[in-house]
Structure 1
Amino acid sequence: MKTTYAVVDLETTGTNPKEDRIFQFGCVLIQEGEIVGRFATDINPDRPISKQIQHLTQVDNRKVKHAPYFEDVAETIYQLLSDTVFVAHNIHFDYRFLSAELMRCGLPELTLNGIDTVELAQIFLPTEVSFRLGDLAESLAFTHDMPHQADSDAEVTAKLFLTIEEKMRQLPLITMEKITECARHLSMQTNLFIESIYREMRESLRPLPDHLQVVEQLALVKPEYRLYESPSYTRTYPSSKEEKAQWFKEQLGYRKSQQLLMDQVFAHFSAQTSDKNCFIEAETGSGKTVGYLFPSSFLATAKNPLIISTASILLQHQLLQRDILQLNQISPYPLQAVVVKSHKHYLDLERFQKTLGKQTEMKQYALFQMMILVWLTQTTTGDLDELNLLRLDHLFFTQVTHLGVDFISSQSAFYNWDFLRRLYAKMHQSNLIIVNHAFLAHESKRDQPILPKSPYLLIDEAHHLPAALERVATVAFNSQQLNQVVQGLKESKWPQQNDPQVALFFRLLDQLDETSLQLSEYFYELKPVQTVEWIVEDATRDSLPIVVERTIQRVQQTFRDMLTLIAQFEEVLLQEMPEYAGEKAELFAQVKQQQQAFQHFFYTNGLSHLRRIVYTKHIRNMYFETIDLNATDITTKSFYARYQRIAYLGATLTTQDRPNYLPEQLGLATPVLRLPTEFDYAKQARLFTVVARPTSDPTQRLIEQLRTLFQHYSESILVLFTSHEQLQAVYQALHFEFLQAGREILAQGIGGSRQKLLKRFSQSNQSILFGADSFWEGVDLPGNQLHLLVVTKLPFENPKRPLVQAKYAYLESLGKNAFQAEALPKAVMKLRQGFGRLIRSTSDKGMMVVLDSRLLTASYGADFIRSLPRELPAVNGTIQEAVVAIEDFFATNQEKNASESKNLL
């Protein structure tokens, strides 16, 4: 008998079946891999559809007013679904809600088998960024004309179901066998569906695809070893504009500032200048990346590779997947690039295989196992970031991430397949190695550096480097993390479990766990609960109560005793249990790190070292941090000496009054070269500063100002905040009001990750996005998606924060004016970064509205204005005058564009 799959989607007035009702039902019937029928109907829910759901579904009360009631169609739906397998995207909601509605109408509850396409997608489409139906439809290029309407959603879910089934059948049999073994915890009967496909595959065996090989019951992609080929002829860099233009032709845009950047980078790396360091400021949209990649391609070889450090993992992949591909279209000497991260980003095949032999009751653990099994048939890198997971702190990943090449046994069946070994082999066959600033900063902490020596190091987004150096130099003692290490050591296998030394070690573990918690409790009592962070000064440390001092000494002594035993255990483990040596080494390393962090906090003095306690809701979560304020001096880092020439690039390295701000932060005296702009700011942009009287309630005034702007400007708006608390308050005050008017406000911290928010923002032409922190920069929206930028407040750090106060006090102790040396230039640079979101090409048009009168009234306001483009027209007035200025500016540009288009015709 043929199995019929009924792919169902409901639209409801809410999530509670006792109170809410269905107003749309959609169903697509599938047999033997083909769609054989469809049924969809509107339903009168006999209650209003909320404005929020109307906005989401584009279905209003008028549309369903004359539709049948659910009682009228209940029998039809029940008969339609009889003898089918129920399929839905997030099945628990649709199945339970529909069953409750059928029972309300006197029909039996549903007893159908069910399949969840969310879980199927998570397993068989493991690298998708999002598993929301709309996002999957876009990624898989499905037509989805009416998202959040039942007939369209059911159609797309059916296509998704068929696509996944086809992908399942294309997998190696061994992979499907392992997935079937892990699938018992899946929702409803999803596991039975997987098992049925596996049985069919077993009866009709396919040969293993040529690009795969089975190793120890894991189907893996065969490694490709591409040797670097150095050109046999002399590389001649094109010095003139005409020569460069011949290479660029029409494939990439060519700009004057880009030519200057190319020549400067080539001159510096080819030792035509005397200084080791070179700082270049090139504004956003100037073609900076190609501007440094092109000249580098004439110099970099596998023996002397170009090392690029950028601000984030996201930018690493952007370089590899977009910019280098573009460059290699035009460069006569292609760049053979590799992204390198710390070992914890990579899967350890040996450790992963061991998890498959364990029975787990954790559904999420099993989901990760199945996801990895499919991903192993696709990945050539083993880089877990390909899975696009927000976090890797689940127990599963602590058990499968790589421990480092030192812990790979040459006797392992996976030795030649190991991802990290393959990465390092590829690194030595590449002329371009891409890392991020954190990885580069950690080079100074590694016993053996991972990156090779080279004449060329280029630091992109260089203004982020000081913060990265400080973060890496910051060490933290945390009793919760220590407790996790303790539990891990106690639960792992030991040689000679009854050995007195092991018993002693376990006692020390318990003692360390107990005393570290006591220490957290003591400090928790020393400071009010309301405190978020506390800077512990030397005088406070030296005058602690005797009971606290004795606890500190006990913790210190326990650490010493443990480290003595660890040294003995490491030797024994390597000899008697080499297969567990790596796992133990990772835990032992964490004990050593915690000991060093403890030592730094309680036994290190000095003006440049800040002790900070960060409080959280649970005492075990208290962090005892030591921050080195001299950590930003790059000349003290061991990696600094390994590179003959270093170039630092970015869009905001200076302020008008501090032209060497970034070099000074890094302990250097090299001047910054600022490349000229190619944008016509006089025509392309405006700055409007809103003038308002002082108020006792600035948040309420901000709400009224934004309400006025939103009511009169209907296109997309990016609103930048300096305070998360104020962002939340404004969102709560305005989001429902504008949602009822059919306009959505997206907000950082509400409704998804930064990437998801930006994606949703870019897909609408009238969304409003509230952002703080990271949204001030790195928001790459084309000019047609963002015209209006609103700055709620000049972006100074909060001077009331204890850490900020302590840093300022340190600068004052050095004889510096903390406001002029630190607070003002950082705020000025951040405003420049915010403005950089607007104009990113010669065709962009944009206005920045600043709702902070201090830009005009404060003595330092001129510093901000001077650091913005000189040609930028600046206007000020009331919020009502701002609305008029916005309308006039964009209306003028629209008329001009229309006139230009007419002339072209």
Structure 2
Amino acid sequence: MANHIYESLINETHGVIEAGTGVGKSLAYLLPLIHYTVDENKTAVVATHTITLQEQLFQKDIPFLKEILPFDFNVEVFKGRSNYLCLRKWNQLIQGRGNHLGLVDNLEKLNRWVQTTTSGDYNEAPLHIPWELWSEIHCTKESCPEELCSYFPKCFYWGLRHRLNDAHLIVTNQAMLLADARSDGNVLPGYAGVVIDEAHNLEDVATGSFSHMINRSEFMIYYGTGAQLQNSLQGDVPEYVIQDLHLILDELIKEVNQYFLQLENLITDYNVPITEHNRSAFVQTSLVKHLKDIQGVLNECNIEEGESSSLIDRFSTFTDQFIGTLDLLFSGKDPSYAYWAEFKNGEPNLVAAPIEVGNILRDTLFEKTPSVILTSATLSTNKSFDYIQSQLGIEEISGLILGSPFDYEKQALLCIPSQAKNPNHPRYTHYASYLILHTLASAQGGVLALFTSYKLMDEIADNIYPKLNEVGYTLFKQGDGPRSSLIEGFQAEPRSLLFGTNSFWEGIDLPGDALKAVVITRLPFTVPDRPVTAARLKAIEDAGGNPFMEYSVPQAILRLKQGFGRLIRTKKDLGSVVIIDERIITAPYGAQFFASLP
């Protein structure tokens, strides 16, 4: 794998590498990246999906390489702006004795940290900083005067941005990498190569990164930025300008509250597609008018170039972005997007998401970066990278599928019970409940059951609770507590089972006796309940393709491989994967699932 990556870097080609658990992916890509960047005096990027992997790289793998390699190299971890303290905002808050300061248990301790920290990183603060306070003092692009700020020489965020120029390796997340791609390279310094780990998530991350969304929270951030601007402009612009800005911002927030209350009545389901038939109901608002009025006030602020002038320009750009997003959402004029309204965390949202991200990634990332290497344990379907190439817009690659260091024939048993049924069977829930209990009894605990819907998970949980109480087993179910607490409880209690959906199909590492069996309750086909998924299926059909075989089946295969991969994490692990969906043996496409498993 290391040789393959080094050749890709030298030859400036793109690569896709599937390497299972236990191969040592991180060291296999860190070594060639470091050698290449030091030898060529260039910069490379590692982009992960999870913070857990970033921490593993920076706290374990990179320190190990620094100890054993005979040369020095520079590495920086780069997060989004919101992770870093803004000294200008902090001092403004202290001077004004902001209301949210009272939320901190020990203000003196927090102030000492501010005075002594070299990173300004939220995660390194010695005490909990409530979000209500942090949202007022963290860095934001929209309120940053950059070089014109009096605190710029001490700025934590910009100090890190400058250090990135001297780094051989930058460790960041996929969202930051795509933010750089979206901004035409204005976030990261130029880099010669990038390794994207956990790359099976890249399509979803790209969908989110290139989507447009508005909600009440976004407008509150806008309002807060405007309020901070008013304070910063005191003495630099006529008082009537500040008063006008204050009045229009208040009018805007009144309209925001009224509009999103109106949306709550329009969203009659989990999500509601916005089409030509119902669009008129979603555009009944004066939000755009208020934003344009704010632009008019900002245009009256004719002041000399400096910190205040830069803040006005930033807020003006912020306002333009809001107007552009609202225009896109309200007009629906771009057919390359899917439009819908939904509830998220209990709040109404309007969303426009790109139907195809492949073209965007090709234009912004793959064609502008000499070498991009994608790696994950699950990238191939039926021993081919055709699906992932098509979805991500990679035209030419150097592909590599590595075998596993684990002996699956001796370590793992794949079982499809004779009682397995099609999920459409009228008594499927009854049979699934029985088979999960049977697996639990055979394994004597340590069973992870993976679901594709909360509804089925809750129904089966209700079915088996009485039996579990009778025989003395504990059920840890997603939704009953924080994910980390559920996993810790499952590990600590031998006579237990763990129920999870979605996020539990990946990122769970339970080596040893903690996990003895994984139950796949149904093949993990994506339900086209999200308008962007439905739009992608329709686009394939309109092009004369078969959306089920070209999109749904490959996605489900990759998901099944993730779930299967929860079982064997070390060479000493033993266990069973029990699939209780008969379609894997009765459906014509079932052979593709079998062919893709290790």
TM-score normalized by structure 2?
0.88
Contact 2:366 2:394 in 1 (8 A): no
Deviation of 1:577 (Å): 5.0
Q: Match for residue 110 of structure 2?
A: 372
Q: Give 2:59's aligned amino acid.
A: Q
Q: Match for residue 340 of structure 1?
A: 78
Q: Residue 744 in 1 paired to residue 474 in 2?
A: yes
Q: Residue 265 in 1 paired to residue 5 in 2?
A: yes
Q: Residue 566 in 1 paired to residue 311 in 2?
A: no
In 2, distance between residues paired with 1:652 and 1:442?
A: 24
Contact 2:381 2:557 in 1 (8 A): yes
In 2, distance between residues paired with 1:767 and 1:516?
A: 47
Q: Give 1:859's aligned amino acid.
A: P
Q: Which moved more, 1:461-470 or 1:363-372?
A: 363-372
| TM-superposition CA deviations, 1:456-510 (whole Å, max 9, x none) | 2211121211211110111112245325533663575253687444444344334
Q: Give 1:290's aligned amino acid.
A: L
Q: Match for residue 252 of structure 2?
A: 512
Following superposition of structure 1 onto structure 2, how do residues 76-95 of structure 1 map, counting pairs within 5 Å?
none
Out of 436, 456, 471, the position equivalent to 1:706 is 436
Q: Give 2:455's aligned amino acid.
A: E
Q: Match for residue 553 of structure 2?
A: 824
Contact 2:100 2:133 in 1 (8 A): no
Deviation of 1:600 (Å): 1.2
Q: Match for residue 607 of structure 1?
A: 335
Q: Match for residue 491 of structure 2?
A: 762
Deviation of 1:520 (Å): 4.2
In 1, distance between residues paired with 2:584 and 2:266?
A: 41
Q: Match for residue 416 of structure 2?
A: 689
Q: Residue 649 in 1 paired to residue 358 in 2?
A: no
| TM-superposition CA deviations, 1:370-414 (whole Å, max 9, x none) | 663465588542221345999x882201111123595356784x5
In 1, distance between residues paired with 2:433 and 2:490?
A: 21
Structure 1 unpaired stretches of 5+: 1-260, 870-905
Contact 1:470 1:632 in 2 (8 A): no
Q: Match for residue 629 of structure 1?
A: 355
Q: Which moved more, 1:556-565 or 1:496-505?
A: 496-505
Aligned-residue sequence identity (percent) comes to 25
Q: Which moved more, 1:767-776 or 1:367-376?
A: 367-376
Deviation of 1:419 (Å): 1.7
Deviation of 1:585 (Å): 6.9
Q: Match for residue 392 of structure 2?
A: 666
RCO (CA 8 Å, sep 6+): is it higher in 1 or 2? 2
In 2, distance between residues paired with 1:688 and 1:573?
A: 74
In 2, distance between residues paired with 1:762 and 1:860?
A: 36
| TM-superposition CA deviations, 1:257-308 (whole Å, max 9, x none) | xxxx11111111122xxx6211111112111111111222221139402211
In 2 relative to 1, CA 770–536 (structure 1 residues): closer, same or farther, beyond 3 Å? same
Following superposition of structure 1 onto structure 2, how do residues 772-851 of structure 1 map, counting pairs within 5 Å?
772-851=501-580
In 2 relative to 1, CA 536–688 (structure 1 residues): closer, same or farther, beyond 3 Å? same
Q: Match for residue 885 of structure 1?
A: none
Q: Match for residue 318 of structure 1?
A: 56
| TM-superposition CA deviations, 1:765-819 (whole Å, max 9, x none) | 3432222212111212224432311111111112345443233122222222111
Q: Give 2:208's aligned amino acid.
A: R
Secondary structure of residue in 1 paired with 2:172: strand
In 2 relative to 1, CA 746–585 (structure 1 residues): closer, same or farther, beyond 3 Å? farther
Deviation of 1:698 (Å): 3.2
Deviation of 1:741 (Å): 5.1
Contact 1:610 1:629 in 2 (8 A): yes
In 2 relative to 1, CA 368–832 (structure 1 residues): closer, same or farther, beyond 3 Å? farther
In 2 relative to 1, CA 363–380 (structure 1 residues): closer, same or farther, beyond 3 Å? closer
Secondary structure of residue in 1 paired with 2:192: strand
Q: Residue 677 in 1 paired to residue 404 in 2?
A: yes
Q: Residue 304 in 1 paired to residue 32 in 2?
A: no
In 2 relative to 1, CA 361–659 (structure 1 residues): closer, same or farther, beyond 3 Å? closer
Deviation of 1:415 (Å): 4.6
| TM-superposition CA deviations, 1:647-674 (whole Å, max 9, x none) | 1111111100753211111112335321
Secondary structure of residue in 1 paired with 2:570: coil
Q: Give 2:477's aligned amino acid.
A: A
Q: Match for residue 598 of structure 1?
A: 326
Count how many residue pairs are aligned between Structure 1 and Structure 2.
Answer: 589
In 1, distance between residues paired with 2:417 and 2:102?
A: 51
In 2 relative to 1, CA 378–786 (structure 1 residues): closer, same or farther, beyond 3 Å? farther
In 2 relative to 1, CA 711–841 (structure 1 residues): closer, same or farther, beyond 3 Å? closer
Q: Match for residue 95 of structure 1?
A: none
Secondary structure of residue in 1 paired with 2:356: coil
Structure 2 unpaired stretches of 5+: none
Q: Match for residue 452 of structure 2?
A: 722
Contact 2:411 2:575 in 1 (8 A): yes
Q: Give 2:369's aligned amino acid.
A: Y
In 2 relative to 1, CA 421–659 (structure 1 residues): closer, same or farther, beyond 3 Å? closer
CA RMSD of aligned residues (A): 3.3
In 2, distance between residues paired with 1:270 and 1:324?
A: 22
Q: Match for residue 204 of structure 2?
A: 467
| TM-superposition CA deviations, 1:614-671 (whole Å, max 9, x none) | 13697xx321111111233355443445421221111111100753211111112335
TM-score normalized by structure 1?
0.60
Contact 2:513 2:573 in 1 (8 A): yes
In 2, distance between residues paired with 1:643 and 1:352?
A: 38
Q: Give 2:298's aligned amino acid.
A: I
Contact 1:634 1:640 in 2 (8 A): no
Deviation of 1:442 (Å): 0.7
Contact 2:362 2:394 in 1 (8 A): no
